[in-house]
Structure 1
Amino acid sequence: MPLFTLVGLILGLVFHFFLKSGVVSHWIWFTTLIIGGLPIAFQTLRGMLKGRFASDIVAMLAILTAIIMNEAFAGAVVVLMQSGGEALEKYGLRRASSSLEALLARAPRFAFRKHQDTLEWIDVKEVKVGDTLMVRPGDLIPVDGIIMSGEAEIDESMLTGEPLARSKQTGDSVFSGSIDVNGAFEMRANKTSAESQYQKIVDLVTKAQEGKAPIERLADRYAIFFTPLTLLMSLLGFLITQEPTTILAVLVVATPCPLILATPLAILCGINRAAKTSIIVKGGAALEQVGSIKAAVFDKTGTITFGTPFVEEIIPLTCLSQIPGVTHISQEELLTVAAALEQLSVHSIAKAVVEKANTPLPIPTNFMETPGSGVEGNLGSKHYTIGSHAFLTKKLTANCFKHCEQAIKTYEKRGKLLIFIAENELCIGILLISDQIRPNVPSLIQDLKALGVQEVVMLTGDNTQNAASIARQAGIETVKADLLPEQKVEVIRSLEITHHPTAMIGDGINDAPALASATVGVAMGAHGSAISAEAADIVFLADDLAKLKEILLISKRTIHIAKESILIGIGLSFALMCIAAFGLIEPAIGALLQEVIDVAVILNALRV
């Protein structure tokens, strides 16, 4: 519509000034006014019937008055600026998200059902409670259930956000959407596909996106007093001059194009500025709201932390000195032993151990790996076993820990993942595995508080002890641990009541419902999941949490300039209304003067 109106105005000017045909130019302008203006008028009327009294009312009145009074050129100029402003606003506020499609595309689709002595490949929707299913390495677990036989290492990061795969044995629960990293097992379905954990995430995202209320346009907040003022000035002008054209002149100079143009132009400039710093903002509403957030909610793994296993501490057991004939092992020697065996494993923790050693390693013999539990092998004449407490107990009996039980209990209380190393049949040391906090997080938390954020919260599916440790390092006081995706959404909804607007910052599929539920969802897009990036309103392309401070500052500057432009436009329009009320401005001249105001507003908005 803006393009059609612009062409009509230019064509009319050609006939009027170059071809000296006033009649033709008038009919071109009048046709443009009717075709372009009536849809705007009807749209505004529909909004009024629904109780929405916005800044567009003055423009509607100016268009209708121009039609009635046959002031085609002035009316067409109003149509151009009104339709152009709306088109610009729709472009700036558009949000393209395919998060639900991405979630559904990744959902489990098939299952191996055990029927008598054979396996049948069925649609996951056909799985019934009580069915026996076979899950192979690499498979998505189709529905929630319990392992009946076998053991495996399960990657639940898409559900919990935690990067470390979990060892599962007979009797343990498994959830749809998680991945069997290695080890085949049989499971009993406890829920159907529609009732399972992954479907809950899809449903949560659906409800969250449908439940988001549309943001009130910044221009409409000022229209509350500007529109009645314009109508009052129009009436006053008519009483002073007794000329109907005075009403149109006042309406034309008061057409709220500055109100309509100021915000979307500033927003688009702000979005462009953010893009230059590797921040993608999907819509104007997100940019407008993020600068005024009262609560910032962070996911732990992959957001506050890097989301990869890290050898935090190497602990030779000093209690070994009490055992006759056993020599103490140094930290370097302990790490070398562990890395030598782990170099033959593909487990994420094994990679972290090898990276920590960062040295040429001897090659073990008789190497064996039990998926999800541990490894064992020989270095020279000594046999080493490395893995979880349960793995070493199973392989070597509980006697391997007997000499250092008290020391081991002390380390277990820290809530970290412990990897035990045994030489022959004696535990000689521990590797403490954790997730490393991003170095700039503590300063970011302080900066957020200085920028007006009242509440900072960390959410995680990790255990309470580990979560509390990370939160202390980050300087975050409020921590919610052991959370499922739906529980994260509940926390967000609670904060929306007490600290609106809120921002949720996350990176995993399990964060998608919370990202969609918050006023503004922010995704770590560099290494995060594509689904979380789709569900979010803002995406950081760089793996840098400090971008949060940058986008808050860009938002605050953008809205400051938008408000400044609105006030400049209102001030100039009011001055012209006062002049027009005394009959000193013709409608056509008023439309051109309004264009001058629009240019001033545009130039000011470009300062973002």
Structure 2
Amino acid sequence: MEHTSTDRLKRALLGIALAGLVAGLVLYTIGRADLAGIAWFVGVVPVLVALAVEILRSLARGEVGLDIVAALSMTAALVFGETLAAAVVAVMYSGGTFLESFAEGRARREMHDLLSRVPRTATRHRDGGLEDVHLDDIQPGDLLLIRQGDILPVDGLIVSDTAFLDTSPLTGESLPARSPRGAEAMSGSTNAGEAFDLRATRLARESTYAGIVRLVEEAQRSKAPMARLADRWSLGFLAVTVAIATAAWWATGDPIRAVAVLVVATPCPLILAVPVALVAGLSRAAHFGVLIKGAGPLEAMARVRTLILDKTGTLTDGRPQIVAIDSQGDLPEDDILRLAGALDQASKHPVAQAIVAAAKVRGLSLAVPSDVAEIPGEGVVGTVEGRKVIVGGDDFVTGRVGHSGAAHPAREAGSVLVAVAVDGQVAGHLVMADPLREGTGAMLAGLRQQGVERILLATGDRAEVANRVTEGLGFDGIHAGLTPDKKVDVVLAERKNGPVMMVGDGVNDAPALAAADVGVAMGARGAAASAEAADVVLLVDQLDRLGRGIEIARASRRIAVESVVAGIGLSVAGMIAAAYGYLTPVQGALLQEVIDVAVILNALRALRVAPDDPKTPQPAIDGVARIGA
């Protein structure tokens, strides 16, 4: 609501200033100069009052900005009767602030759909039936039904025989795992198996997910605000302006000389060029699927020196894929995959769906299974093409066929091992893992070329898995087994090396995203909490968009700085000319208009930034991208 009222005020001020300027020009043209002066005066006063209020607020925060120069020029012009010059300055100033507000407002609107996925209700057992209740109405001891695909609303204990939970948004464990009766289950996890019952042990506001949300809020409160690029030039420019205006008045005794200097000095190149270049950069980044929430994050993105990446769902794809097929009998690999895929058509388990997808990629024909029985979280038994097939965990399958299997090396590597038995004999194993995103190596190399000096991994997954994933990628540091608050500590510790960017997709990443100078969320499949806490959202699950976003941010900032330097140089030249009496206040305002147009046209070059598109392929195994467990 606060943002909306501020946006409306800025829009209204621009409308008033523009209406006053146009009305005054019309009146002046028809010979009513007296009424024209009044129209210009009326158009300036609201802008000047709002500007004075903003200056007082900034000074109370200990900030000095370029708004002071604009206020001085408008005030001096009104005091000495140069109302047309004041009206021009008012329009240009209010236009610049409106552009900044427009950029931030558009980013907020585009975030609405991303944040609409947060669960608000749960299904509770009550008097032999089921009822939907709001999360705040859930009490410890309530029995909840968690359907397949549901996100656990509160912490609790598993009451059913088993549950198959995807905890990757919370812990970074890349693959779902089975939890037995009586095991604790964390809110924010996803039910990846059959429906089960959960006994609530905490209120929603006291659960794991709520604790992470509180961490996000604390991190956002402690995050220093980003100063506008224009304001970082303010003190020097203000000093130069006041010095030239004072010297002109003192040397000539003519206050109009000082007014002309102040009008020419009105920092429209700074007020306009910066937001125009950054808004253009925001639009260009959105074209490539990179949603940046305002000009401040775009500026920060351009200065990043340290990159911290989450693993599951960020550095890796977050979905299991077959990386090897180990035949232990006479059946060829394709036959093992074909039979396993045919049987797994009857299961909705994520691993089963991955096996079916892999079989279809190879072009294998999958028969319709019969006599299928699925043991949730364990495996599937059935008949395919007249043969008895069992697919599931190694212990489950070997127990069904009556003998124990030898330890498989994939177990030590952190991969998921799926055993396949045919007609009472173990035919082989499907080794599954979470693959690196395609082009990761090329993307990281490109980021280093763009000035990112340190690249680190911060994951809740195990150290051996993290080391295997990052092998050969040249990370500067690997932090594994991290809880959400420890990820925040890593971000804060890295700030001594320069601005930090954190990239993640899970609920457990949200506090670190909020604490970083630039938080980047994987928006297509990531958690809503991470998208809300982040400054940047990648709207497609392609990590290469990160490099494009940084390149666009740096190009946009460079163009903004070029526009500022050129504009200030021309303004200083105009100020000197005004001090010597070569420019009247109105002429100075018109000159400033010409300078404004020049710097705006230059700033619009940000719309044409063309980021590189690296296409370096990664080594593949059986048509699957390079993997890590």
TM-score > 0.5 by shorter chain = yes
Query: Which residue is equivalent to 1:489?
Result: 488
**8 Å contact kept, 2:273–2:563:** yes
The 1:161–1:98 alpha-carbon spacing in structure 2 relative to 1, beyond 3 Å, is farther
**1:150-299 equivalences in 2 (<5 Å):** 150-160=161-171, 162=173, 164-183=175-194, 185-299=196-310
How far, CA to CA, are the matches of 1:110 and 1:530 in structure 2?
Answer: 17
**8 Å contact kept, 2:115–2:531:** no
**1:202-601 equivalences in 2 (<5 Å):** 202-317=213-328, 328-357=330-359, 358-379=363-384, 383-392=388-397, 395-396=400-401, 399-401=403-405, 405=406, 408-423=407-422, 426-472=425-471, 474-495=473-494, 497-529=495-527, 531-601=529-599
The 1:521–1:425 alpha-carbon spacing in structure 2 relative to 1, beyond 3 Å, is same
Post-superposition shift, 1:530? 5.0
Query: Which residue is equivalent to 1:324?
Result: none
Post-superposition shift, 1:149? 4.7
What letter corresponds to residue 15 of structure 1 in structure 2?
Answer: L
Post-superposition shift, 1:66? 1.9
**8 Å contact kept, 1:254–1:573:** yes
**8 Å contact kept, 2:209–2:507:** no
How far, CA to CA, are the matches of 1:580 and 1:161 in structure 2?
Answer: 64
Tell me, what secondary structure is at the counterpart of 1:514? helix
How far, CA to CA, are the matches of 1:368 and 1:564 in structure 2?
Answer: 68
Tell me, what secondary structure is at the counterpart of 2:237? helix
Post-superposition shift, 1:478? 2.6
Post-superposition shift, 1:25? 1.5
How far, CA to CA, are the matches of 2:74 and 2:418 in structure 1?
Answer: 76
Post-superposition shift, 1:376? 1.6
Stretch moving more, 555-564 or 187-196 = 187-196
The 1:120–1:55 alpha-carbon spacing in structure 2 relative to 1, beyond 3 Å, is closer
Query: Which residue is equivalent to 1:321?
Result: none
**1:22-41 equivalences in 2 (<5 Å):** 22-41=33-52
Q: Alpha-carbon deviations, 1:85-105, whole Å to 9, x = none?
A: 121222234451797997797
Post-superposition shift, 1:43? 2.4
How far, CA to CA, are the matches of 2:108 and 2:129 in structure 1?
Answer: 46
1:2 aligns with 2:4: no
Q: Alpha-carbon deviations, 1:228-284, whole Å to 9, x = none?
A: 111111111112101121221111111111111121011112122223333332211
How far, CA to CA, are the matches of 1:311 and 1:133 in structure 2?
Answer: 37
What letter corresponds to residue 520 of structure 2 in structure 1?
Answer: V
Tell me, what secondary structure is at the counterpart of 1:332? helix
How far, CA to CA, are the matches of 2:386 and 2:97 in structure 1?
Answer: 79
Stretch moving more, 497-506 or 67-76 = 497-506
How far, CA to CA, are the matches of 2:465 and 2:393 in structure 1?
Answer: 17
Post-superposition shift, 1:390? 3.8
1:45 aligns with 2:23: no
How far, CA to CA, are the matches of 1:381 and 1:31 in structure 2?
Answer: 90
How far, CA to CA, are the matches of 2:477 and 2:143 in structure 1?
Answer: 41
How far, CA to CA, are the matches of 1:384 and 1:535 in structure 2?
Answer: 47
Post-superposition shift, 1:202? 2.4
The 1:504–1:193 alpha-carbon spacing in structure 2 relative to 1, beyond 3 Å, is same
How far, CA to CA, are the matches of 2:205 and 2:531 in structure 1?
Answer: 25
Q: Alpha-carbon deviations, 1:404-456, whole Å to 9, x = none?
A: x2xx2533211111112234555442211112222211011111111111221
Post-superposition shift, 1:152? 2.0
**8 Å contact kept, 1:278–1:541:** yes
Stretch moving more, 358-367 or 102-111 = 102-111
Tell me, what secondary structure is at the counterpart of 1:559? helix
What letter corresponds to residue 8 of structure 1 in structure 2?
Answer: G
How far, CA to CA, are the matches of 2:243 and 2:490 in structure 1?
Answer: 48
How far, CA to CA, are the matches of 2:151 and 2:550 in structure 1?
Answer: 39
The 1:477–1:587 alpha-carbon spacing in structure 2 relative to 1, beyond 3 Å, is closer
What letter corresponds to residue 580 of structure 1 in structure 2?
Answer: A
Tell me, what secondary structure is at the counterpart of 1:82? helix
How far, CA to CA, are the matches of 1:328 and 1:596 in structure 2?
Answer: 82
Q: Alpha-carbon deviations, 1:538-594, whole Å to 9, x = none?
A: 333344322222222211111111111111111111112222223332222222222
The 1:376–1:474 alpha-carbon spacing in structure 2 relative to 1, beyond 3 Å, is farther
**1:34-183 equivalences in 2 (<5 Å):** 34-94=45-105, 95-96=107-108, 106-107=118-119, 109-110=121-122, 112=124, 124-125=135-136, 127-129=138-140, 131=141, 133-138=143-148, 139-160=150-171, 162=173, 164-183=175-194
Tell me, what secondary structure is at the counterpart of 2:404? helix
Query: Which residue is equivalent to 1:323?
Result: none
The 1:375–1:538 alpha-carbon spacing in structure 2 relative to 1, beyond 3 Å, is same
Tell me, what secondary structure is at the counterpart of 1:96? helix
CA RMSD of aligned residues (A): 2.9
Unaligned 5+ segments in structure 1 are 318-326
The 1:49–1:200 alpha-carbon spacing in structure 2 relative to 1, beyond 3 Å, is closer
Unaligned 5+ segments in structure 2 are 1-12, 607-629
Query: Which residue is equivalent to 2:624?
Result: none
How far, CA to CA, are the matches of 1:126 and 1:2 in structure 2?
Answer: 47
Post-superposition shift, 1:479? 2.7
Tell me, what secondary structure is at the counterpart of 2:470? helix
Tell me, what secondary structure is at the counterpart of 1:2? helix
Q: Alpha-carbon deviations, 1:16-58, whole Å to 9, x = none?
A: 22x2122121222222232332322332233224321111111
Query: Which residue is equivalent to 1:322?
Result: none
The 1:519–1:384 alpha-carbon spacing in structure 2 relative to 1, beyond 3 Å, is same
**8 Å contact kept, 1:341–1:375:** yes
**8 Å contact kept, 1:146–1:189:** yes
How far, CA to CA, are the matches of 1:311 and 1:37 in structure 2?
Answer: 66
What letter corresponds to residue 352 of structure 2 in structure 1?
Answer: A
Tell me, what secondary structure is at the counterpart of 2:152? coil
The 1:107–1:206 alpha-carbon spacing in structure 2 relative to 1, beyond 3 Å, is farther
Post-superposition shift, 1:65? 1.5
Post-superposition shift, 1:136? 4.3
Tell me, what secondary structure is at the counterpart of 1:307? coil
**8 Å contact kept, 1:296–1:455:** yes
What's the TM-score, normalizing by structure 2? Answer: 0.86
| Larger-gyration structure (1/2) | 1
What letter corresponds to residue 575 of structure 2 in structure 1?
Answer: M
The 1:411–1:102 alpha-carbon spacing in structure 2 relative to 1, beyond 3 Å, is closer
Tell me, what secondary structure is at the counterpart of 2:409? helix
Tell me, what secondary structure is at the counterpart of 1:544? coil
How far, CA to CA, are the matches of 2:123 and 2:369 in structure 1?
Answer: 39
Tell me, what secondary structure is at the counterpart of 2:605? coil
Post-superposition shift, 1:396? 5.0
**8 Å contact kept, 2:273–2:560:** yes
Q: Alpha-carbon deviations, 1:382-403, whole Å to 9, x = none?
A: 5433211342365456x332xx
What letter corresponds to residue 576 of structure 1 in structure 2?
Answer: G
Stretch moving more, 551-560 or 117-126 = 117-126
How many aligned residue pairs are there? Answer: 589
What letter corresponds to residue 439 of structure 1 in structure 2?
Answer: E
